[in-house]
Amino acid sequence: MIQLTGIVSERDFKDQILDSMDIERERGITIKSQTVSLPYTAEDGREYLLNLIDTPGHVDFSYEVSRALASCEGAFILVDASQGVEAQTLANLYMAMGHDLAIIPVINKIDLPSAEIDLVKDQIDEDLGLDSETALLVSAKTGQGVEKVFESAVKLIPPPTGDAEAPFQGLIFDSHYDSYRGTIVHIRVFQGTVQKGDRILFLSNNATYKVEEVGLFQIVRKPMEELQAGQVGYLIAGIKMISDVKCGDTVTLASRPCELPMPGFREPNPVVFSSMYPVASDDYEELSEALEKLKLNDASLIFEKDASAALGFGYRCGFLGLLHLEVVQERLEREYDISLILTSPSVQYEITGKDGEVKIIDNPSHYPDPAEIEKTREPFIKASIIIPDKYMGAVMQVCLEHRGVSTNYQYLTSNRIEMKFELPLAEVVYEFYDRLKSVTQGYGSFDYEIAGYQDTDLVKLDFLVNGERVDALSQLVHREKAVERARHACKQLREEIPRQMFKIAIQGAIGGKIISRETVSAYRKDVTAKCYGGDISRKRKLLEKQKKGKKRMKMVGNVEIPQSAFLSVLKSGK
């Protein structure tokens, strides 16, 4: 679509042009929604400006999708001609229906030898409940059928409503930080106009700024005279205070404000929690600034201050899933050049004390004394997994290993099956998605929703290195899994912790009970090398002397734990 409208010259064009982050191009996934305005001349000669938002597909970034849909009038739902309808396609369709959008199905990749167009049309009818006769057949690679996508956008998607003469009212749906221009705000204008020189007002905090530049996104920023009702673009106003800009806030003119703010977006609910600490404690201020800037561009990231005896000051962060956690970590390391240590990811547990008080905790260091706990409950999810039926046994086994319970399954077509499971969220966080993809050879698709809390038997698993508890390695786990998880983590730590001149014991413990142990053996100098021949007591004396020295060294010996050790504990190795 971008090539057909000619907003980028052939010389500057490259594949995945909207996936501008290195991390997106390397992993082959979309992480951020990207906006682009496409000028289009229709068959009847009329000129249109089409505002396109390209959204991610992975379940961890569904918040990006919900924000994009709130800014739109219609949606194209893409279905792969060889893979068919996936679990996430269904989830995003229901989200678009919730916003009451015009929905047009598009079957892509029809040029593939493995494309099964008739089968996919049946799936669109049965799974999605859309009319497959209206589905557009497209090959984005060869360009076949893309012209029809433009025509159907013009004919079937309603134009935006809004009065250019009314008081200015714009919705902030995203923003990012530019080190030269300050915060750049992405807005959708619902009413009125805004132009250079206007004084704007943010309704959530009454901050006012003078507009320096407005314009459209056409891969690069294209300055314009003004933005009118219905347009999607950006606004630069020299905003230095990052905290003034909030996603979902309403912008208006200070001289002529609108009456009511826009409804905005619902707050994201983080499901995975982990603490981040800078490797060098002097980088704490830089980490604070970097998180503030990243929050502009990733509204689903939540963080608060945290401290650890082993690692100093850091932040406790909330994420929408494990992939989201990895992406945030990589972006902080690449874009802001900060080396980080992350603690074991955890979910929110509900703990009822003997006194009847209910606490929500997500940090193992806040876990109360087991004697004071009446019961613990953990979050469960309803998972929907769509797979070819030949993988049914393998998927069933993976789910049972992760304490899942099968609730239902049904055939969607003759060889595709949808399986529904109830699983503890804590198990899904721990490499479940990777296992599922590998046992289904990439054909499995997975989507989930939170299904409330259920009773569980929880224990706090601590790790001791050389007899000292390392609070950053502590985990909250189900009692059945504790021994397996402790043994595995001790083995991983043994590989990572460097050898010293004395033995280092690595132990996994629940309370005062040790349940696993590994030992990093000591370097040993051969003190008897110079004693060739002679009485045995001479050698024994030297060995005893060495033993005393090692004992003394162990009393003062501090073990440094490398950064890689904290990460190795999270990998299951399966």
Is 108 annotated in a binding site? The answer is yes
How far is the CA of 555 from the CAs of 502, 550, 552, 559, 561, in angstroms?
10, 9, 5, 11, 18
| Cross-strand partners of 315 | 276, 305
User: Residue 12 has what pLDDT?
Assistant: 67
- Looking at residue 563, its pLDDT comes to 63
Q: Please indicate, yes or no, whether the overall pTM of this predicted structure exceeds 0.75.
A: no
Backbone angles phi, psi at 3, to 5 degrees: -65, -40
Angle made by CA atoms 160, 164, 167, in degrees to the nearest 5: 110
Instruction: Reduce the secondary structure of 191-231 to three states and give it as a string.
Output: ECEEECCCEEEECCCCCEEECCEEEEEECEEEEECEEECCC
pLDDT of residue 4: 78
Is 415 annotated in a binding site? The answer is: no
pLDDT digits (tens, 9 = 90+) for 535-563: 788 888 888 888 887 776 665 557 777 76
Q: Which residues of the chain have pLDDT under 50?
A: none
Query: Up-side HSE of residue 566: CA atoms within 13 Å toward CB?
Result: 23
Instruction: Tell me how crowded residue 557 is: count the other CB atoms within 10 A of its CB.
Output: 14
**Phi, psi (deg, nearest 5) at residue 48:** -130, 155
Planar angle of CA 206, 290, 263, nearest 5 degrees: 35
369 labelled ligand-binding: no
Pull the structure tokens for residue 527: 């003190």
Domains annotated on the chain, with CATH? 2-156 (3.40.50.300), 169-253 (2.40.30.10), 272-342 (3.30.70.870), 349-456 (3.30.70.240), 459-568 (3.30.70.2570)
Give the model's pLDDT for residue 97.
Answer: 85
Rounded distance between C-alpha atoms, residue 121 and residue 134, angstroms: 10
Please provide the DSSP assignment of 35-64 as one string. Answer: EEEEEEE-TTS-EEEEEEEE---SGGGHHH
Q: How far apart are CA 166 and CA 229, in angstroms?
A: 9
Structure tokens at 373: 């706990």
Q: Is 77 annotated as a binding residue?
A: no
